[in-house]
Structure 1
Amino acid sequence: MTAMHDHVREYLRLRRALGFKLDWPGRILPQFADYLLTAGSSTITDELSIAWAQLPTGVHPVTWTHRLGVVRGFAKYMQAIDPATQIPPSGVFPGQGKRPDPYLFSEHDITSLLEATRTLKTPLRAATCHALFGLLAVSGVRISEALTLQRDGVDLDSGVLAITSAKSGPPRLVPLHPTATAALSEYADLRDRLRPRARASTFFISHRGTPLSKGPVREAFIQLTAAIGIRTATVKPRIHDLRHSFAVHCLLRWYRSGADVDGQMATLPTYLGHLNPAGTFWYLSAVPELMQLAAQRLQASTAAS
């Protein structure tokens, strides 16, 4: 057994502690460690990863894609431990795409984005985008859920959202911080003052008083992220990245504060509306710092036991 085999075992243990069975990765990652040992390498490289992924012959290329995808997840974990680790590229083989790399909004980015909404034409459009993007950043709700949020689904007295149009799964309640509730109350007052006879029953409305649609919201988001300098030819933040950033910052706060992350992770999927931990774990695995903190926590726990 090598150090790489030990890292494979710790990686699988970490992910299984988060609720994953990992039957297939649990079988093939030790084989990958064997391959590295035979190749005389103690570090994951693109060349070795791709060569190992193609070992099965007479199979559909999607099989190679799946094998390389398992290595990619492990390599992200290993890069936090061994900076020399190379994360193999995606799209090497035909057959399956990948999730786009997320843009992690900092607190400064979010503040700048919300301030920039004040420059949008018409007071109601500016106020709507300000309240909408702010809500996405502090609650983690999906843009589709926010746009279909009904007025009676926003309890401004209790500070709770009733999400009834979730992507999947049953309706859920999302509690809000008092500052978020205050901001939504301010928006609702302005909305009702400017469009007292609005035709929409949704909480967020267009400047014409109709239900807000995703197209104009996306156009405003692109305009604003370019104006504050975070959108470039190669960096293209998405509205969904506000949700991603919310989840990542929650996890970072828990790890940095020494909180019971295992206990909190049991609630975060429900809060975000995930039916299983897989969606939530992606937020963790996509950020090297989170993987490093998780590995350190697991190692400390193992040493203490």
Structure 2
Amino acid sequence: MTTIRQHADEYLAMRRRLGFKLTSFGEKLMSFVSYLEHTGATVLTAEAALTWATSTPRSTDQVHWSRRLMAVRIFARHLKALEPATEVPPDDALPHHYRRITPHLFTPAELAALLQATGELRPSFRAHTWHTLLGLLAVTGLRTSEACGLDRTDVDLTDGLLTVRDTKFGKSRQVPVHASTTAALRKYARDRDCQRPAPSTAAFLVSTRGTRLDSHNIPHTFAKLLETADITAGQSRRRPRMHDLRHTFATTTLLNWYRDGADVQAKLPLLTTYLGHADPKSTYWYLSGSPELLALAAARLEHSFGGRP
């Protein structure tokens, strides 16, 4: 007889083969499986799922509870086809709340101050690496992990083309960059090769030790740069993150399209592909991230209906 843990392991392995990372989802699901084993349960029930989802002494946040239960619900739908006794937790078992953190949208002045702050880092090569990293994130909207994951062979300095491999959804894509960006990357590459003539890594961006930048270890330096640049929490009341550079790029792109009178709906799939989103709805979310974008979108909609209420 196959246990729930075995079913869960097989389910996660199948999903990962399809390109899903499942980092937080996998952690939640296996935590629930451990809970079932601890209670001696051999069948997944809605009652057990709800009890586990709300048994979080460190958090009474219903959004957190709902997301925990959702992980179980998704797996339960799969498991029920294999084990008919499985109960799928009902959709209304917990209130549905979807809350996405409001991003910090960097102003041009803040971006300039942030890049200038990298000059305070020592040694000078570290400063150059950070200046290149932040500049690349700002003008391409790459995820931090994608920029750190670039190999030298992924950066075409002749045609100005980046190849981003093994992205968030297990796919690869090509990202064309402006000539000015290519020039900046070429300048960094010369400095890097001078500093590290015998590289120990294939990475394009390297640390002062000659190793690949670790996207999990760089928030600390970014926090120092924010302090140096005197950039504080904005309307979101939360310290800006490096990921907000991606939000800023996407929002700025949409704003420019609206201001230029472009057909945003027709062009949106291009931005979706460029950013490496799984589907357009992830890109549509940026429309709600800026009051100015919302106003422009509303004005465009009102115009399309001839100004009628």
TM-score, normalized by the shorter chain, greater than 0.5:
yes
Q: Which residue of 1 aligns with 2:278?
A: 275
Residue 232 of structure 1 deviates from its aligned partner by 5.0
Q: Which residue of 1 aligns with 2:197?
A: 196
Alpha-carbon distance in 2 for matches of 1:94, 1:239: 31
Alpha-carbon distance in 1 for matches of 2:233, 2:107: 16
Q: Which residue of 2 aligns with 1:148?
A: 149
Q: Which residue of 1 aligns with 2:261?
A: 258
Q: Which residue of 1 aligns with 2:299?
A: 296
Cα-Cα RMSD: 2.4
Contact 1:102–1:244, Cα closer than 8 Å, also in 2: yes
Q: Does 1:119 align with 2:120?
A: yes
Q: Which residue of 2 aligns with 1:10?
A: none
Query: Which residues of 2 match residues 30-179 of structure 1 at below 5 A?
Result: 98-179=99-180
Identify if the C-alpha distance between structure 1 residues 290 and 169 changes in structure 2 by more than 3 Å, giving closer, same or farther.
farther
Alpha-carbon distance in 1 for matches of 2:307, 2:98: 41
Residue 267 of structure 1 deviates from its aligned partner by 0.8
Identify if the C-alpha distance between structure 1 residues 304 and 167 changes in structure 2 by more than 3 Å, giving closer, same or farther.
same
Partner AA of 2:165 in structure 1: T
Residue 288 of structure 1 deviates from its aligned partner by 1.7
Alpha-carbon distance in 1 for matches of 2:216, 2:201: 17
Residue 218 of structure 1 deviates from its aligned partner by 1.4
Alpha-carbon distance in 2 for matches of 1:122, 1:276: 42
Alpha-carbon distance in 1 for matches of 2:98, 2:126: 36
Alpha-carbon distance in 2 for matches of 1:238, 1:288: 20
For structure 2, the 5+ residue unaligned runs are 1-61, 68-93
Partner AA of 2:274 in structure 1: Y
| Superposition TM-score, scaled by structure 2 size | 0.66
Contact 1:125–1:206, Cα closer than 8 Å, also in 2: yes
Residue 216 of structure 1 deviates from its aligned partner by 3.9
Identify if the C-alpha distance between structure 1 residues 255 and 95 changes in structure 2 by more than 3 Å, giving closer, same or farther.
closer
Partner AA of 2:176 in structure 1: P
Alpha-carbon distance in 2 for matches of 1:200, 1:231: 35
Show CA shifts across 1:149-187 (max 9, x none): 111000011001001121015211101011111111111
Identify if the C-alpha distance between structure 1 residues 303 and 232 changes in structure 2 by more than 3 Å, giving closer, same or farther.
closer
Alpha-carbon distance in 2 for matches of 1:202, 1:136: 16
How many residue pairs match? The answer is: 218
Q: Does 1:219 align with 2:220?
A: yes
Partner AA of 1:166 in structure 2: T
Partner AA of 2:250 in structure 1: A
Contact 1:147–1:204, Cα closer than 8 Å, also in 2: yes
The structure whose RCO (Cα within 8 Å, separation 6+) is larger is 1
Aligned match for 2:250, one of 242, 247, 254: 247
Contact 1:226–1:232, Cα closer than 8 Å, also in 2: no
1:133 match: secondary structure: helix
Q: Which residue of 1 aligns with 2:19?
A: none
Alpha-carbon distance in 1 for matches of 2:241, 2:294: 23
Alpha-carbon distance in 2 for matches of 1:128, 1:118: 10
Alpha-carbon distance in 2 for matches of 1:139, 1:288: 22
| Superposition TM-score, scaled by structure 1 size | 0.67
Partner AA of 2:110 in structure 1: D
Partner AA of 1:295 in structure 2: A
1:267 match: secondary structure: helix
1:303 match: secondary structure: coil
Partner AA of 1:264 in structure 2: K
Partner AA of 1:103 in structure 2: H
Identify if the C-alpha distance between structure 1 residues 123 and 276 changes in structure 2 by more than 3 Å, giving closer, same or farther.
same
2:306 match: secondary structure: helix
Residue 98 of structure 1 deviates from its aligned partner by 2.7
Residue 215 of structure 1 deviates from its aligned partner by 4.0
Show CA shifts across 1:102-155 (max 9, x none): 100111111111111011011221111000000000001100111111110000
Q: Which residue of 2 aligns with 1:89?
A: none
Alpha-carbon distance in 2 for matches of 1:121, 1:149: 23
Q: Which residue of 1 aligns with 2:71?
A: none
Residue 95 of structure 1 deviates from its aligned partner by 6.9
Contact 2:251–2:289, Cα closer than 8 Å, also in 1: no
